[in-house]
Structure 1
């Protein structure tokens, strides 16, 4: 967590949070656009690191994609203001504006930059990109969305997020495809309620923060590191709990928001979408379990000089998070009924 001691990066982090609030609370589309631009320009200094070539490449990719999306967004909101009365054009413009916002948050089918870019980031920046950076485009999307178009996008997110992660060896890319899949679930909460969207995003952010914290602490970036490193049994168990919770397995807290979404989708008779969501969640659980199973069962050589030393304070945090993951579902069940 080197950047926390760096006043420059702390300043840009503050602007990053502040710009999202500007974008959300603006009373015009132009104000929203300004908020998004400030957000873009404050995130680039956070990810660009002169020592690492991958991070400077990632910052350039991020800048190009976001600026293209911003230009389109600005052009079409101005276009909408001029041709507001024409209903047919209005429908087309709503799809284009939705597309630019989906491109900003790394949603399918505009997702190709997202896994490639995330490969060059540190775990903390990955966490910001997968959680905080999605807030302002999603809230702007909820103001003005095309329902039929959004249903197609939700199905694409769910399928691409599940299938894209099957052949990945990089943990960061795996988390990126997991984020794309969960984005499909999050978009479906627009049809239900804003409170459910906040609940889903906060619980998802909590789970992603645990995963990123674990991988940052163990300095892991690829799946084979889970097999090679002489892992502590408690770390293995915490990886198991948090991976299964992220996949949405019932006893864990990650299942709770998915359960509510499924419940509402079935009540509103949207059966095909529900089926696709559940089926794709099973595929995601398959590759999560494959990683955990391999790291649990591989009888690797225990290298005596290759041990992990973890500070006691950090380990206590992980145990606390694990308790929330396990018991959270039980508490949430009481609240739900």
Structure 2
């Protein structure tokens, strides 16, 4: 069967590596031993590097090398710690330390704080498609493995750090990719809290987040935008700017947009489980995220930059309909989903 798929994707290397990427995640989450999980993570790493490396682009080559080094360090630590855990199962104190170290290796894999320093640097050299994969699919394996064996006190500290660093890290960014990275780090805090409550709740949050981030990546890829000042300079259609506004606000979790819906459910669960302080921090950091999203969109709508207004971005009607359709889902999805759950 494996050889059959190799023959199918032989003419398209990228499709072949994407298939291996998907397959490796399934290996990790369905393995019945820690060693099997580690093998899945290694296959995932080796399949993603050919996707991001590009010999014609120095930034992509640098990003692939940095990604390989950081993920290799995390994998070596993970392998060493699972072997240590097997030999020292009876000692409770050492087991507690090992659980924190295994969690740290998995957090490094997914680009969580305080191991997030590689994440913004690497994402700067990637295309929007690879950014989307790194911010969504590459988090699935480490998150599932983390749900098997976690230290709750350690993870609560990590959640708080994720939301704070994700919110404050995006303040002085001029790069849209780095902005999306810090948004991903902030949402990772919400995802970690959801995985403590229920795996189904985490999956629900991940699906919503993946949908919203896919719209943003699709828009920026289509408009060929990588920096915030391009939103001011380019001669964009007002409808595109409005759809950007809707999707930014939805990603920030502002009601009545659909991005608020998973956060609303998360807030209810956290309050019911008496995590009042955690809920307060999450809401405050979401407000900071919304502040700089609104600042970007307000500037792009209000500035009248005349230098490059002769450069008009052409978008065909089908793509334009797609953008508006996704924006309408984001706008009315919250209202319809609320009625559905009632």
Q: TM-score, normalised by structure 1?
A: 0.97
Cα distance between partner residues in 1 of 2:62 and 2:168: 26
Give secondary structure in 1 for the equivalent of 2:209: helix
Matches within 5 A, 1:1-337: 7-301=12-306, 303=308, 305-337=310-342
Deviations, residues 30-79 of structure 1 (Å, cap 9, x unaligned): 00000000000000000000111000000000000000000000000000
Cα distance between partner residues in 2 of 1:142 and 1:50: 38
Cα distance between partner residues in 2 of 1:331 and 1:191: 28
Give secondary structure in 1 for the equivalent of 2:293: helix
Deviations, residues 114-141 of structure 1 (Å, cap 9, x unaligned): 0010000000000000000000000000
After TM superposition, which residue ranges in structure 1, 4 or more long, deviate above 2 angstroms?
A: 302-305
Structure 1 stretch displaced more, 107-116 or 186-195: 186-195
State how many pairs are aligned: 334
Cα distance between partner residues in 2 of 1:146 and 1:294: 43
Cα distance between partner residues in 2 of 1:87 and 1:165: 40
Cα distance between partner residues in 2 of 1:84 and 1:304: 67
- How far the C-alpha of 1:303 sits from its partner, in A, is 4.5
Cα distance between partner residues in 1 of 2:298 and 2:10: 38
- How far the C-alpha of 1:83 sits from its partner, in A, is 0.4
Cα distance between partner residues in 2 of 1:35 and 1:109: 24
- How far the C-alpha of 1:235 sits from its partner, in A, is 0.4
Cα distance between partner residues in 1 of 2:11 and 2:202: 33
- How far the C-alpha of 1:5 sits from its partner, in A, is 11
Cα distance between partner residues in 1 of 2:133 and 2:320: 22
Cα RMSD (Å) of the superposition? 1.2
Cα distance between partner residues in 2 of 1:113 and 1:304: 36
Instruction: Report if aligned partners of 2:135, 2:184 keep a CA contact under 8 Å in 1.
Output: yes
Cα distance between partner residues in 2 of 1:304 and 1:68: 47
Instruction: Report if aligned partners of 2:59, 2:125 keep a CA contact under 8 Å in 1.
Output: yes
Instruction: Report the CA distance shift for 1:78/1:147 in structure 2 as closer, same or farther (over 3 A).
Output: same
- How far the C-alpha of 1:6 sits from its partner, in A, is 6.5
Instruction: Report if aligned partners of 1:247, 1:285 keep a CA contact under 8 Å in 2.
Output: yes
Deviations, residues 264-315 of structure 1 (Å, cap 9, x unaligned): 1111111110010000001100000000000000022175531011022111
Cα distance between partner residues in 1 of 2:93 and 2:167: 35
What 5-or-longer segments of structure 1 have no aligned partner? none
Cα distance between partner residues in 2 of 1:132 and 1:9: 16
Q: TM-score, normalised by structure 2?
A: 0.96
Instruction: Report if aligned partners of 2:235, 2:310 keep a CA contact under 8 Å in 1.
Output: no
- How far the C-alpha of 1:191 sits from its partner, in A, is 2.3
Cα distance between partner residues in 1 of 2:155 and 2:171: 25
- How far the C-alpha of 1:194 sits from its partner, in A, is 1.3
